[in-house]
Structure 1
Amino acid sequence: MSTIKQLAPMRRLCFNHLLAVSVLLLAAALVQECTAQGGSSGGDHAPLVSPLAKDPATSLYTISIKDGSGPLVVDLAGPLVWSTCACASGHPTFPCRSAECDAANGFNWPQQGRQWQQGYDAGADGGDHYCTCTARPCDPVTRARCAAGDLTTFAMSANATDGRNALYPVSFQAVGACAPDWLLRSSSLPAGAAGVAGFGRAPLSLPSQLAVRRGFGRRFALCLPGVAIFGDTPIFLGSYPPDLITTIASTPLAANPRNGGYYLPVEAISVSWPNWNLATTRAALPPSALELDATTGRGGVTLSTVQRYTAMRSDVYRAFVQAFSETIGKPGFVKPMPAVPPFELCYDTFSLRHVRVLGWDVPLIRLELGAGASMNWTVDSGNSMVQAADRTLCLAVVEMAPEAEHAAAAPAVVIGGYQVEDNLLVFDEDTEVLQFSGLLWGSGATCSGFNFNAPQ
């Protein structure tokens, strides 16, 4: 489906200006259609790259991609792109019965009622053929604070890439939702952010739109904080010489029919010391605790860029912290410290050995993956432990809040942004496969190692 099939007639106050915009957008769509049918040369379908940054105040990640405004917050499970619009009547819109409108409103937020799932109300247009599509942008952190806004288009730009360098700028249009200023101000977003870029499994997420517009397949890569790469390309980061795509692990992805998140087929969680000849401890989880219910959408293990630390449902959390506590205590030299909220398990750094490359010598956490995975997902200390106070190192995993745990389609585990920092993640929706590197420290590759300086 083309991301822009038809623009609604322009509002009367900005008719001439917006008519010109619509003609340009239609021409761009026609050029894309012709090149897709007849083949392309040069950079017409070149993959794209954009920088990612981490906001120190909120620990949210932003992508610099929207022209003429601040960056957009990356929401890995989000279905939409949304931002404020400069002029209430100064932007193109879509008809409320268009394919774009259906795509914008064809998702379900677990916390929302049906009134938020409709692109228009029956009869709301009063017989007007040109009723305007209403989309529902939401705060990506809470999912509970939402607003109504026109479905429109935004000017964006990124750089073409060969997987090693940023080559030349590329401008394009993306369909997104206008959001009122109050939603931007009241949401827990970084200062200066202009909105949100949804990366989820939805027709109007940013990766989905780029895949259709550029014709380069539904594949994108995130390396937080550092770089986002869209399209089928080798990936080179820092001084690590091989194409990383050829060296990293992979696992099938699972899909939740109730939301656009990316789920891992985790069957068990275990904890073990990397440098001690001690038995592995497997968390004593309740039966089927990690399973994803395909009917209700509850359960499963999902990835998030808006959850700061990994959060576990209470039954999973209690079993996991017991396993970790037992394992780290086996050698007998690690000294516990008082809890530092929101963390429960904390330890005296003076009783731990610092490992030069990977952080601290503490037990590894393994997410044991199901059939089809080339290896298990291992969480090293650089992703599992956080310096929470002087001489205090804490396990960076928290118990899920009751309101989140009991929400419809609540996951069993949400893997937070801290746990995937400095990891390369490559999502391929065409094959339903996720490739993952594990912690890159010491490999020569770094998330900040992409060359954004175009070659001379």
Structure 2
Amino acid sequence: MYLILQLLIIVLAFIFVEREAISAYAQSYTSAVAPVHKHTDAAKPLYSVRVSTWPVNVQDSNEYFLIDIDAPLTWHECIVQWNMHPGSCPSNTRCTSSVSCEEYECTHVRTSYTYQNPSCPPETNISTTMPGNWIYCTCPVNVVNPVTGSCDQALLNYDELNLNTSDGRNVFTGLSGANPNAACAPSSSFASFPANVTGVMGFSSSPYALPFNMYYLLRNTLALCLPSKPSATGVLFFGPGPYYLLPQSNVDVRSYLSYTPLLKHPDSFGYFISVHSIVIKKRSIDVPANTTTKLSTIDPYTTLRTDIYNGVIRRFSMVTKRLRPAEPIAPFSLCYSTSTTGLKVPNIDFSLPDGKKWTVSTANSIKQISSEVACLAFVDGGATSEPAIVIGTFQFEDNFLLFDLENSTLRFSSSLLRKQTTCANFNFTLTP
């Protein structure tokens, strides 16, 4: 009996020490963090996040993924293998373990979480014969190229992704891992992508997207801050915060944030909000009731259905009539002549529920096309555009966006320039 009691005490002590160690480790960081890059060498401006992938048989484990807050799962350039062992992966290739067509994940992803539209090919199993006359079937899933909009197929896999950890102010050498089901595609699938970008990272509300597959303390909270220049580096966080940007190193960015509910859409895993009206210099442009407003990291500029767009253009033209007009440059219809980059125009406010507003200031409303021409960076989506409003990435730049999936809330800063900082002001210097 005494021996049993001793063993019980030892076991309980071990559990206590283990929990204390886990707790201490967990408390040493509050988020996972990754740098965000702007690319202008594709058909439209795009943004990527740099993440470490494993297992690999290449010199650099870092891979650049396009940021897509609408994609239901992650996919990238790699090959699937049945048996992962040293030497099994071809030289200079990223390899991951395959999901069989007979596994639950295959059926679940293919029936609920891949793109279903006429341009997508039918999903059929692909058999692969391995040594020993074993026959396996892989799991093709539909993916959509965010650059071209075309549908393709990739093979579902078991992946591993790693990000540096952070306390919101410092970046640590330790890594936080995630093991999502992702998919492998051949290099030809990325021909239209920016240089060195070989994947699409799914950041949507899908259970197969990355936010749901992070370490549990970091799960379901995504903070995104897009840079405004290719030469600058933005930042992406997983985890509830705090978050700090220089030079206000003691000011938590969360103190700047307002909030609005995130809405569900029956045909998308992306993020939607309610916009009641668009206000320009105290005059409202009405937005019809039940109008859907989508957030997009793929569309470069805010797109408005024609009836809403016309109202915005009329009002904006009126409040800027003292500015010298210029010949419109596609895809914009309202442009101004300027010899400097210092054009100042009135704010555009998206009026949200509960009296909240998302302010679009000059830096996010006026696109400098050349040294002589600047244009209002809003686009006519057509008379039947659905969603009626799509807020694009030019309006996101140097805005801090916090997607709280646990509470279905978007928290947003409007322009950080008003706070004398930018998305490029996170300190990525590694701390041991």
Measure how far apart 1:208 and its partner are.
1.7
Structure 2 residue runs without a partner (length 5+):
1-14, 54-60, 83-94, 129-133, 228-233
Measure how far apart 1:51 and its partner are.
0.4
CA distance in 1, matches of 2:417, 2:325: 27
Measure how far apart 1:254 and its partner are.
1.1
1:261 aligned onto 2:270: yes
Structure 2 SS opposite 1:302: strand
Task: Give CA-to-partner distance per residue, 1:279-308, whole Å, 9 cap, x none.
Answer: x222255x43xx25xxxxxxx111111111
Measure how far apart 1:66 and its partner are.
3.4
CA distance in 1, matches of 2:107, 2:274: 30
Following TM superposition, the consecutive aligned residue runs of length 4 or more in structure 1 with deviations greater than 6 angstroms are: none
Correspondence for 1:169: 174
CA distance in 2, matches of 1:136, 1:223: 29
How many residues align? The count is 379
1:239 aligned onto 2:247: yes
Task: Give CA-to-partner distance per residue, 1:304-338, whole Å, 9 cap, x none.
Answer: 11111111222222222122112222xxx222111
Correspondence for 1:100: 105
Letter in 1 for 2:396: V
Correspondence for 1:53: 37
Match of 2:198 among 189, 194, 200: 194
Question: Which has more strand, going by share of residues?
Answer: 2
Q: Is the 8 A contact 1:313 1:413 kept in 2?
A: yes
CA distance in 2, matches of 1:110, 1:415: 24
Structure 1 residue runs without a partner (length 5+):
1-33, 273-279, 293-299
Correspondence for 1:75: 68
Measure how far apart 1:91 and its partner are.
3.4
Letter in 2 for 1:327: V
Task: Give CA-to-partner distance per residue, 1:413-455, whole Å, 9 cap, x none.
Answer: 1111111100000000001111101111141332111111133
Correspondence for 2:331: 342
CA distance in 1, matches of 2:120, 2:328: 42
Cα RMSD after superposing both structures:
2.9
Name the % identity. 31
Letter in 1 for 2:48: T
1:223 aligned onto 2:222: no
Measure how far apart 1:44 and its partner are.
4.6
1:362 aligned onto 2:375: no
Letter in 1 for 2:23: S
CA distance in 1, matches of 2:157, 2:253: 37
Q: Is the 8 A contact 1:66 1:72 kept in 2?
A: no
Correspondence for 2:5: none
Q: Is the 8 A contact 1:343 1:396 kept in 2?
A: yes
The TM-score normalised by the length of structure 2 is: 0.80
Correspondence for 2:190: 184
Correspondence for 1:42: 24
Letter in 2 for 1:158: L
CA distance in 2, matches of 1:215, 1:334: 51
Letter in 2 for 1:446: T
Measure how far apart 1:132 and its partner are.
2.8
Compared CA separation, residues 231 and 129, structure 1 to 2 (3 A): farther
Q: Is the 8 A contact 1:110 1:258 kept in 2?
A: no
Measure how far apart 1:184 and its partner are.
1.3
Letter in 1 for 2:327: P
Task: Give CA-to-partner distance per residue, 1:103-162, whole Å, 9 cap, x none.
Answer: 43313647446865x6x57x999xx9964322222202343x222222113332211110
CA distance in 2, matches of 1:236, 1:76: 23
Task: Give CA-to-partner distance per residue, 1:23-44, whole Å, 9 cap, x none.
Answer: xxxxxxxxxxx99x96832335
Correspondence for 1:20: none
